[in-house]
């Protein structure tokens, strides 16, 4: 079982039972206790649980524990949310755009995360607001109730005022022939504006979006640095997306 699937099982078990043990998880997942210990160490360091002797318990002061996580707990989004964490370093300036996968990233952030985040994603703001060391810059524009994002000329103009260390891009579709595409023209325009002002770009895409395309082009595969997916990085379904220096995690 890949590590991200083990993470999902550990966190789900913890939510259901209130405590997990190395021995119990080892038996459940058919891996060694040393493997479970390393997994719990990682989750503890990232603020997702509290390590105790022989296992783990829920983190008492999770800043997101009050949030209604309905719709954000699909296995695909959880895996992507956890895979993104090593890309985020304290002190970074980050673009985050719209979509529930981006919100899932916030669900996985360690409690002591320190970032400056520029976003047009209004659903993301209350999630980030519980982190005392995250500065939130909300990009203005026309509010779309369906996507809970701000879009339009003002959004793009405000995005152009910043330089980001990293852009976490949610995506509607990704394919070898057409790269990243969007179903909504205004969303694509915002993505292009954020892309232009970013030193590095990580695209977040579930397996259901792989090999698909929408009407509005955002960018080619050569313009992104990292592809974060719920699939194992060596999954053959990703072979068509292996482009030169593109890192797949």
CATH number of the domain residue 194 falls in? 3.40.50.1360
Question: Are 88 and 132 in a shared domain?
Answer: yes
d(C-alpha 129, C-alpha 10), whole Å: 26
Q: Is residue 69 part of a domain?
A: no
Sequence-distant (≥ 6) Cβ neighbours of residue 89 within 8 angstroms: none
Would you state the structure tokens that stand for residue 66, as one six-digit string? 């009050």
Q: Please report the pLDDT score of residue 51 as a whole number.
A: 84
d(C-alpha 40, C-alpha 35), whole Å: 9
Q: Is residue 34 part of a domain?
A: yes
What percent of the chain is modeled with pLDDT above 90?
64
pLDDT tens column, 199-210: 999 999 988 898
Reply yes or no on whether the pLDDT at 12 is more than 90.
no
pLDDT tens column, 44-77: 877 788 888 888 888 754 433 323 333 444 678 8
pLDDT tens column, 84-130: 999 999 999 999 999 889 999 998 898 899 999 999 999 999 999 99
Question: Are 48 and 112 in a shared domain?
Answer: no
What is the tally of structural domains in the chain? 2
Q: Is residue 65 part of a domain?
A: no
Q: Please report the pLDDT score of residue 74 as a whole number.
A: 64
Q: Please report the pLDDT score of residue 162 as a whole number.
A: 98
Give the count of beta carbons closer than 10 Å to the beta carbon of residue 70.
Answer: 6
Closest CA to 218 of 156, 147, 161: 156
d(C-alpha 238, C-alpha 189), whole Å: 26
d(C-alpha 56, C-alpha 42), whole Å: 12
d(C-alpha 164, C-alpha 97), whole Å: 13
Question: Are 132 and 214 in a shared domain?
Answer: yes
Domain span at residue 172 reads: 75-248
Asked whether the beta carbons of 217 and 174 are under 8 A apart, the reply is no
Give the pairing of strands 166-170 and 149-151. Answer: unpaired
Enter the pTM of the model.
0.74
Question: Are 81 and 18 in a shared domain?
Answer: no
């Amino acid at each position: 079982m890949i590590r991200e699937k083990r993470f999902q099982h550990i966190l789900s078990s913890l939510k259901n039972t209130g405590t997990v043990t190395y021995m119990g998880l080892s038996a459940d997942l058919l891996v060694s206790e040393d493997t479970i210990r390393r997994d719990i160490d990682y989750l503890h360091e990232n603020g997702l649980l509290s390590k105790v002797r022989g296992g783990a318990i829920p983190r008492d002061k999770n800043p997101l524990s009050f949030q209604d996580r309905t719709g954000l707990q699909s296995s695909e989004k959880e895996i992507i949310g956890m895979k993104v964490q090593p890309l985020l370093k304290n002190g970074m300036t980050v673009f985050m755009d719209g979509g529930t996968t981006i919100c899932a990233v916030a669900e996985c952030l360690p409690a002591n995360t320190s970032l400056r985040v520029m976003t047009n994603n209004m659903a993301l703001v209350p999630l980030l607001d519980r982190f005392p060391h995250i500065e939130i810059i909300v990009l203005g524009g026309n509010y779309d109730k369906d996507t809970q994002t701000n879009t339009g000329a003002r959004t793009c103009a405000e995005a152009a005022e910043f330089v980001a260390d990293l852009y976490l891009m949610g995506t509607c579709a990704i394919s070898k022939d057409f790269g990243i595409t969007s179903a909504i023209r205004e969303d694509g325009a915002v993505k292009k504006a954020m892309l232009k002002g970013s030193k590095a770009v990580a695209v977040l895409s579930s397996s259901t979006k792989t090999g698909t395309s929408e009407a509005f082009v955002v960018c080619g595969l050569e313009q992104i640095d990292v592809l974060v997916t719920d699939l194992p990085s060596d999954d053959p379904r990703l072979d068509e997306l292996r482009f030169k220096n593109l890192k797949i995690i």
